[in-house]
Amino acid sequence: MKRLIWSAFLATGMATSAVAQGVTVDNCGEPLVFEKQPERLVVHDMNMTDMAFALGLQDKIVGLTGITGWYKTSPDFDAQRGDIPELAQKYPTVENLVAAEPDLFFAGWYYGMRPGGEVTPDTLAPFGIKTMILTESCVHLHDDRPQASMDLLFDDVLRLGQVMHVEDKAEALVSDWKDQLATIESQTADLEKPRVFLLDGPADAPFTAGKFAIPDAMITAAGGENVTHDLDTSWGRTSWEAVAASNPEFLVLLDYQTGNGAEDTFKFLQDHPVMSQVDAVKNARWIGLRYEELTPGPANIDAISKMAKAMHPSLN
């Protein structure tokens, strides 16, 4: 019955409405109700932290999780972070979060939480902590989600803006991003679309982006075709043989900024018995992009522009 009521609510076009002094937003198909604006926010991962920084929420953020355990941060990120503490270098525990006394945790499935794990919306609720879930990650619990589009970024920024009562700033950001994307898409509309493969580092089986991960939409926006679009997952594994059979013409290599980063990954492909024979490797056509550029966040827009120019030299 609750799901029917919520479906009717969404059908009226009122996905966000006044509730007392707060708002209600969609949260993986369920209503997430805030009777008042959250005052203490914990954010997981660089991409979601970038969303919060873009909205100027530093004064509300009491902690970050999942930053330095995996990535090197940029000087710009460090400057925006200031003295905000990191509560856990990788995934947080309930104890980490409760100690910071937040009223909102912004995270996702496999972005700070695991289905059935220690930290979930259900385990945090008894402590008065609400959880806003990254929309891209909803597919891990609800497999009836639509395939990825740039709305994964736009809608999450708008949701966060609504919850934190900075709607005008969120709407202005999204409007500007849409204008930038429209320009890129108009520039690539009549150009040939290269076959593109994204790789998240050397491995026995390639870890890549399927139809529910935002890089699938980013590759399309940049004027390419994701060769793993048919993978019925967000981020997941396929086989080297399947990738090689698609003969990608361009590579997007995730650059964790450790060692030589994407250069090491490309060297791995050059030495790989199967992948060394595909056009993208033989012609050395690739770009390295950082984690926060390839997960839903403000850095997506510039990353799409970088990809478009690298795929289509005529744009330079």
Q: What is the pLDDT of residue 21?
A: 60
Please state the rounded mean pLDDT for residues 257-278: 88
Contact 290, 70 (CB under 8 A): no
pLDDT at position 144 over 80: yes
d(CA 83, CA 80): 9
Please count the other Cβ atoms lying within 10 Å of the Cβ belonging to residue 93. 13
Contact 180, 187 (CB under 8 A): no
Fold of 187-315: Rossmann fold (3.40.50)
pLDDT in tens, 187-197: 999 999 999 99
pLDDT at position 270 over 50: yes
Which secondary-structure segment (H or E) carries 267? helix 262-270
Amino acid symbol at 109: W
pLDDT at position 8 over 60: no
Q: What is the pLDDT of residue 25?
A: 97
First to last CA, the chain: 55
Please state the rounded mean pLDDT for residues 250-267: 85
Task: Please compute Rg for the chain using Cα positions.
Answer: 20
Percent of the chain with pLDDT over 90: 86
pLDDT in tens, 58-68: 999 999 999 99
Please state the length of the chain. Answer: 316
Q: What is the pLDDT of residue 260?
A: 67
Structure tokens at 211: 């139809």
pLDDT at position 4 over 60: no
Number of alpha helices (DSSP H) and beta strands (DSSP E) in the chain: 13, 15
For residue 292, CA distances in Å to 67, 100, 125 come to 11, 25, 28
Using DSSP's 3-state secondary structure scheme, residue 254 falls into strand
Higher-pLDDT residue of 20 and 58 is 58
pLDDT at position 6 over 70: no
pLDDT in tens, 190-225: 999 999 999 998 889 999 999 999 999 999 999 999
- What is the reported pTM? 0.90
pLDDT in tens, 95-134: 999 999 999 999 999 999 999 999 999 999 999 999 999 9
Please state the rounded mean pLDDT for residues 261-266: 91
pLDDT in tens, 155-197: 999 999 999 999 999 999 999 999 999 999 999 999 999 999 9
Only one residue has tokens 């806003």, namely 132
Structure tokens at 278: 């595909």
Give the closest residue to 285 by CA, choosing from 299, 298, 261, 269: 269
d(CA 91, CA 34): 25
d(CA 195, CA 180): 23
Please state the rounded mean pLDDT for residues 75-100: 97
Q: How confident is the model at residue 18 (pLDDT cuts 50, 70, 90)?
A: very low
Please count the other Cβ atoms lying within 10 Å of the Cβ belonging to residue 21. 10
| Same fold flag, 2-174 and 187-315 | yes
Q: Give me the chain's average pLDDT, please.
A: 92
d(CA 2, CA 20): 20
pLDDT at position 34 over 60: yes
CATH number of 2-174: 3.40.50.1980
Least confident of 12-21, 36-45, 52-61, 185-194: 12-21
- What is the DSSP-derived secondary structure letter of residue 111? B
Domain limits of the chain? 2-174, 187-315
Please enumerate in sequence order all residues whose Cβ is within 8 A of that of 264, keeping only pairs 6 or more positions apart, or say none: 202
pLDDT at position 7 over 60: no
